[in-house]
Chains A and B, each alone.
Chain A
């Protein structure tokens, strides 16, 4: 069964600390993997998309890595700020183009 898991479900860090968010998936045959941000009661903001042929993507303070063989992706957020507080969702597009979301990691950055 194609599943996406995100652990931990919640994370609280002091401002300035680096964030490490984990995503694991059960099938290495993926098309791409995407990280989203979701603020409470809001829609999805796309952060980074990694194609299956890529190992990482970077945008500003964000860096996402992809290891298909181990079925893992990690989202790093450097020097966290209170404005980074949100839920971060990992989404995998499988080789059949179906998309599965993880349950998300809710991040709180304390000022």
Chain B
């Protein structure tokens, strides 16, 4: 149980393109979803927390207009990287939690984003 599906697993696109990444909880309702970013050989850094039906809470230093997060249902959250540039290339991982506390978290398999 507690499966989180993240799609796509890999994206390669040109600079200036907007890219949408989906995160779905397949067998539970996700009250809270999280988006993380991982740079090479670095740890995962929390970008934002979203609760279904409300605006996402972004961590300090994360541009909310660049990284649009929508948590429209209890099983789906999307991260849109708008007008992506090479510096946005990274590994993005989502997680979902069935509780409002955000614990436990169940992780997706990640999306490798490469901007040319």
B-binding residues in A (CB < 8 A): 4, 9, 31-32, 36, 41-44, 46, 49, 89, 93, 97-104, 106
Contact = CB atoms under 8 A, between A and B. Distances in A.
B93 interface: yes
Contacts of A98: 46, 102
Contact of B44 (A32, A41, A46, A101): A101
Nearest to A91: B44
B103 A103 contact: no
B112 A99 contact: no
The 7 residue pairs across chains A and B that have the minimum distance between CB atoms: A43-B109, A103-B43, A101-B43, A43-B110, A101-B44, A44-B107, A97-B101
A89 B103 contact: no
Interface residues of B, number: 21
A49 B106 CA distance: 12
B43 A89 contact: yes
Contact of A42 (B45, B103, B104, B109): B109
Contacts of B105: 99
21 contacts: A4-B43, A32-B103, A42-B109, A42-B110, A43-B93, A43-B107, A43-B108, A43-B109, A44-B93, A44-B107, A44-B110, A46-B107, A97-B101, A97-B103, A99-B46, A99-B105, A101-B45, A103-B41, A103-B43, A104-B43, A106-B41
A49 B43 contact: no
Given A41-B112, A43-B93, A102 B103 contact: no
